[in-house]
Amino acid sequence: MTAPTVDRETGEIRHDTRPRLGECRQGWIWDGTGWRKHRRELPSPIEVQAKFDLLDDLVKEQSEEWSRLAKAAAQTQVAYERAKAEAFLRAEGPMDVRKKIADLETADLLLAAETANIIADTAKNEMWRLKTMQESNRSTNATVNQEMRLAGQGQT
């Protein structure tokens, strides 16, 4: 029996010593049948364009999702403010008491409005993350293309 090992990614204790598919150790990678030297090959132009197209689609979908969620958040906020105003006008007594009654009656709507805003903000952040990734990939691709052109001319 072999000693247990600790998985570096998950921190879990493994009792088998068989490596996982794609696991890397000191420049070698396990391909399921054996260890082979790990080397990174540049993707083909078709693969690069496919990744750009995928990111374009993801940004478009996320932008539409953010737009939908932002609209829903705004509608929820308006519903909350309207309900609070109506509750304030229905309440009787001094101003402070009326405000507190309106706050108590609309607490669930306030929670819904703030939750909707958080969800919309999360969608917006995801959209910006995808756009940043898209721009980073375009910049990297331009640099690689320039290096390949220079290498073809014997300048690197």
Question: Which residues lie closer than 8 Å to 35 by C-beta, 6 or more apart?
Answer: 19, 25, 28, 29
- Are 26 and 88 part of one and the same domain? no
Give residue 69's domain range.
Answer: 45-145
- Are 81 and 104 part of one and the same domain? yes
- Are 133 and 92 part of one and the same domain? yes
Q: What is the pLDDT of residue 143?
A: 79
- Are 76 and 16 part of one and the same domain? no
152 within some domain: no
**Beta strands of 1-156 (E only): which ranges?**
5-6, 13-14, 24-25, 28-30, 35-37
- Are 66 and 129 part of one and the same domain? yes
- Are 111 and 134 part of one and the same domain? yes
- Are 128 and 111 part of one and the same domain? yes
As a dihedral over the C-alpha atoms of residue 113, residue 114, residue 120, residue 124, rounded to 10 degrees, the angle is 150
Q: What is the pLDDT of residue 1?
A: 42
Count the domains in the chain: 2
Q: Along the 156 residues of the chain, how does pLDDT read in single tens digits?
A: 445 566 666 766 666 566 666 666 666 776 666 777 666 666 677 877 888 888 889 899 999 999 999 999 999 999 999 999 999 999 999 999 999 999 999 999 999 999 999 999 999 999 999 899 888 888 877 877 777 777 776 554
- Are 28 and 75 part of one and the same domain? no
